[in-house]
């Protein structure tokens, strides 16, 4: 993707002797521009004589209606009207309008390349005219979208996830590299939720005979099914591994049993929920500042057929200090006495801190 803006390029070569009739404008992109209907008064300053939209880099034909581009272009009122005798000087204000047009068009996101070119046209009386050409190349547009390589997630679920995340990618949308990366991330997350360690890529295939249209295919390699053999708690002193492992719901090791039953699959999208359960266990037993870190998965074995990968999950914990409830007091209460408000809380000085009791 590229963009450039050029104004004031060298003059086009013109015949030195004035012709009997005005010559046609020279088009920078091969358009058939008609000859001017008249010429400006002798001695006039340079004038804007003609404007054209060029789609030469894509065969001369736009995908979007030309009116779409005209909507964002403000140079048109600065183009002279020879048949009406209205001649618009080529000034710094005109050049600034072109720069603004450039930015406005580029910011819309539907162009892959953009440049503005200005060439000189010499009228028979010697007045200099300016031919303004906007060169545009549109982004490729998607004809079809496919998801190949897995039956674990169906298209309906994928499209639902994309809608929920505000990622619109489908037929007739512009090819967008950033959006494609986001879709790949969603696909990886969906596969990991199923317990796989996937590789996701994509390919873009141009449609033969189709102007700037492509087929987009996401390629999903499921990879091995990742299963937890053991869960190791690192940093715990107040509670045993067994107690903390018992708080896990989504990601827990089942040892040799999981090899037989097929259970124990990793669900990375649920790590946070499991960490919250361990955190709740601590905070309801005197440890308000406990921190449960991101689990680390360590591969310990791969099945001979490559379809299963056994891991050991290490969960780091920083317990913090142990606390008990002290005095309970209130500030700012004017309608009710402190003794009444204190009676609503089922906590007593000397009891172990419990977030659950405070919330209740």
Q: How does pLDDT run across 169-195, given as a tens digit for each residue?
A: 888 888 888 999 999 999 999 998 888
Domain edge (last residue) among 303, 318, 333: 318
- The answer to whether residue 2 scores a pLDDT higher than 50 is no
**SS3 (DSSP) at 347:** coil
Main-chain phi, psi angles of 107, to 5 degrees = -70, -15
Q: Are residues 78 and 186 in the same domain?
A: no
Whole-number Å distance between alpha carbons of 300 and 309: 8
347, burial (CB in 10 Å: exposed 0-12, middle 13-18, buried 19+): middle
Cβ atoms within 10 Å of 336's Cβ, excluding its own:
10
Average pLDDT in the chain: 85
Confidence band, pLDDT 50/70/90 cuts, at residue 210: low
Q: Are residues 215 and 268 in the same domain?
A: no
Q: Are residues 241 and 209 in the same domain?
A: no
* 101-133 per-position pLDDT tens digit: 999 999 998 899 999 999 999 999 999 999 999
- The answer to whether residue 223 scores a pLDDT higher than 50 is yes
- The answer to whether residue 145 scores a pLDDT higher than 80 is yes
Q: How many domains does the chain have?
A: 4
Whole-number Å distance between alpha carbons of 120 and 103: 24
Contacts of 19 (CB under 8 A, 6+ apart): 124
Q: Are residues 257 and 294 in the same domain?
A: yes
Q: What was the pLDDT predicted at 106? A: 95
Q: What was the pLDDT predicted at 264? A: 64
CA torsion through residues 230, 234, 237, 238, sign:
negative
Contacts of 346 (CB under 8 A, 6+ apart): 357, 360
- The answer to whether residue 260 scores a pLDDT higher than 60 is no
Residue/partner pairs of 265-268 with CB below 8 Å, 24 or more apart: 265/194, 265/195, 265/225, 265/226, 265/227, 265/228, 266/192, 266/195, 266/226, 266/227, 266/228, 266/297, 266/311, 266/313, 267/192, 267/193, 267/195, 268/189, 268/192, 268/193
Picking from 45-49, 55-59, 203-207, 259-263, which range would have the lowest pLDDT averaged per residue?
259-263
Confidence band, pLDDT 50/70/90 cuts, at residue 258: very low
Q: What was the pLDDT predicted at 253? A: 64
Q: Are residues 35 and 155 in the same domain?
A: no
Q: What was the pLDDT predicted at 19? A: 44
Domain edge (last residue) among 159, 189, 221: 221
Confidence band, pLDDT 50/70/90 cuts, at residue 359: confident
Q: Are residues 123 and 172 in the same domain?
A: no
Whole-number Å distance between alpha carbons of 356 and 360: 6
Identify the helix (H) or strand (E) that includes residue 207: none
Q: Are residues 78 and 173 in the same domain?
A: no
* 25-46 per-position pLDDT tens digit: 888 988 888 889 999 999 999 9
Q: Are residues 172 and 255 in the same domain?
A: no
**SS3 (DSSP) at 151:** coil
Percent of residues, the chain, with pLDDT higher than 70 = 90
Q: Are residues 176 and 302 in the same domain?
A: no
Domain edge (last residue) among 168, 193, 221: 221
Whole-number Å distance between alpha carbons of 62 and 135: 11
Identify the helix (H) or strand (E) that includes residue 323: none
Best CA proximity match to 156, nearest among 196, 203, 190, 206: 190
Per the structure block, which two tokens stand in for 314?
A: 């290490």
Q: Are residues 148 and 205 in the same domain?
A: yes
Confidence band, pLDDT 50/70/90 cuts, at residue 358: confident
Cβ atoms within 10 Å of 177's Cβ, excluding its own:
11
Per the structure block, which two tokens stand in for 132?
A: 């303004």
Contacts of 39 (CB under 8 A, 6+ apart): 22, 82, 123, 124, 125, 127
Range of the domain at 339: 324-360
- The answer to whether residue 83 scores a pLDDT higher than 50 is yes
Q: Report the CATH number at residue 307.
A: 3.10.20.310
Q: Are residues 157 and 235 in the same domain?
A: no
Q: Are residues 153 and 268 in the same domain?
A: no
């Amino acid at each position: 993707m590229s963009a450039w803006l050029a104004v004031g390029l060298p003059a086009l070569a013109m015949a030195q002797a004035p012709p009997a009739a005005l010559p046609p404008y020279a088009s920078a992109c091969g358009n058939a521009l008609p000859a001017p209907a008249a010429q400006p008064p002798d001695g006039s300053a340079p004038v804007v004589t003609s404007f054209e939209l060029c789609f030469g880099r894509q065969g001369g034909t736009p995908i979007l209606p030309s009116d779409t581009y005209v909507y964002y272009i403000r140079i048109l009122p600065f183009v002279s009207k020879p048949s009406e005798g209205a001649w618009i000087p080529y000034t710094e204000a005109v050049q600034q309008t072109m720069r603004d047009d450039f930015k406005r068009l580029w910011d819309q996101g539907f162009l892959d390349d953009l440049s503005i070119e200005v060439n000189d046209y010499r009228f028979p009386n010697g007045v200099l005219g300016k031919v303004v050409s906007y060169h545009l190349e549109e982004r490729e547009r998607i004809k079809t979208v496919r998801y190949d390589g897995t039956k674990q997630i169906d298209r309906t679920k994928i499209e639902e996830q994309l809608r929920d995340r505000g990622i619109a990618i489908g037929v007739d949308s512009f090819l967008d590299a950033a959006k494609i990366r986001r879709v790949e991330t969603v696909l990886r997350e969906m596969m990991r939720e199923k317990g796989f360690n996937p590789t996701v890529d994509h390919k873009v295939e141009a449609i033969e005979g189709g102007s700037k249209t492509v087929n987009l295919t996401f390629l999903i390699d499921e990879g091995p099914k990742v299963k937890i053999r053991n869960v190791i708690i690192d940093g715990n002193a107040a509670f045993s591994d067994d107690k903390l492992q018992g708080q896990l719901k989504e990601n827990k090791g089942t040892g040799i049993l999981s090899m037989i039953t097929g259970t124990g699959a990793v669900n990375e999208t649920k790590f946070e929920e499991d960490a919250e359960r361990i955190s709740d266990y601590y905070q309801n037993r005197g440890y308000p500042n406990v921190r449960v870190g991101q689990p680390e998965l360590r591969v310990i074995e791969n099945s001979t057929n490559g379809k299963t990968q056994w891991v050991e999950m290490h969960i780091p914990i920083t317990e913090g200090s142990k606390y008990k409830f002290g005095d309970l007091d209130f500030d700012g209460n004017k309608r009710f006495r402190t003794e009444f408000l204190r009676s609503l809380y089922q906590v007593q000085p000397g009891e172990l801190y419990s977030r659950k009791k405070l919330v209740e």
